[in-house]
A and B are shown apart, each in its own frame.
Chain A
Amino acid sequence: EAQVTQNPRYLITVTGKKLTVTCSQNMNHEYMSWYRQDPGLGLRQIYYSMNVEVTDKGDVPEGYKVSRKEKRNFPLILESPSPNQTSLYFCASSHPQETQYFGPGTRLLVL
């Protein structure tokens, strides 16, 4: 089954404790992205990658890191999480200029 998977689905952490949210796709997509979704603000792109070892900032990259060492994986790293990073996070993948397939989401609470 073609899909985007994210782990964990739910996470509660404390300020400053490094965390990683994993994302994997099995559709051989070149493009991958991370978004955060907050009430009333829609989805805002954090980082995106157009291929292995190619990443670029989206609209809200501050406080986040990403890497793309393999085509299928695109982890999101929060080196020192803060409460304003409490949000619902989505990973997505696509071929160029085609629809994005979204993962199920990761709900993060930073205390």
Chain B
Amino acid sequence: QQQVKQSPQSLIVQKGGISIINCAYENTAFDYFPWYQQFPGKGPALLIAIRPDVSEKKEGRFTISFNKSAKQFSLHIMDSQPGDSATYFCAASYAGKSTFGDGTTLTVKP
């Protein structure tokens, strides 16, 4: 049973556009929701994270929107750049246990 569902699987955006990736979770015990960025040959690295007592968090061009009642959260990348081309993973965790989405491959066209 997959506890975190991520969509879309792949995304192509023009430079300067907005990239949106969505995730849905099932377990209401999750209390930490990070997004990770992974480049080929590298380990995942934290992009931005949110806790369920907050509905939105913004850091530079990256924004997380969190809807606790719908059990959904999303990543918005504003002014997408070719350097943002990578695989993005959402995750949900509590008490050391973490579940990741299957990932979204983002390609930003110049």
Closest partner residue, chain A, to B42 (CB atom): A104
Q: How far is the CA of A56 from the CA of B100 in the complex (A)?
A: 17
Q: Is there an interface contact between A42 and B42, defined as CB atoms closer than 8 Å?
A: no
Q: Is there an interface contact between B43 and A105, defined as CB atoms closer than 8 Å?
A: yes
What is the 8 Å Cβ interface bit string for chain A, positions 28-46, against chain B (1 contact, 0 not)? 0001010100001111110
List which A89-111 residues lie within 8 A (CB) of chain B. 90, 92, 96-105
The interface residues of chain B lying within 8 Å CB-to-CB of A92 are 43
The interface residues of chain A lying within 8 Å CB-to-CB of B91 are 43
Shortest Cβ distance from residue B5 to the other chain A in the assembled complex, whole angstroms: 11
Q: Is the C-beta of B18 less than 8 angstroms from some C-beta in chain A?
A: no
Q: Is the C-beta of A49 less than 8 angstroms from some C-beta in chain B?
A: yes
Shortest Cβ distance from residue B102 to the other chain A in the assembled complex, whole angstroms: 4
Shortest Cβ distance from residue A3 to the other chain B in the assembled complex, whole angstroms: 11
Q: How far is the CA of A92 from the CA of B45 in the complex (A)?
A: 10
What is the 8 Å Cβ interface bit string for chain A, positions 16-36, against chain B (1 contact, 0 not)? 000000000000000101010
A50-B96 in contact given A42-B102, A97-B31, A99-B49 (Cβ < 8 Å): yes
Q: How far is the CA of A49 from the CA of B96 in the complex (A)?
A: 7
Q: Is the C-beta of B98 less than 8 angstroms from some C-beta in chain A?
A: yes
Besides A43-B100, A48-B97, 4 other A-B contacts (C-beta < 8 A): A31-B96, A58-B98, A102-B45, A104-B42
Which residues from chain A sit less than 8 Å from chain B, CB to CB? 31, 33, 35, 40-45, 48-50, 56, 58-59, 90, 92, 96-105
Closest 10 CB pairs of A and B: A102-B43, A99-B46, A42-B102, A43-B100, A42-B100, A50-B96, A48-B96, A42-B103, A31-B96, A97-B32
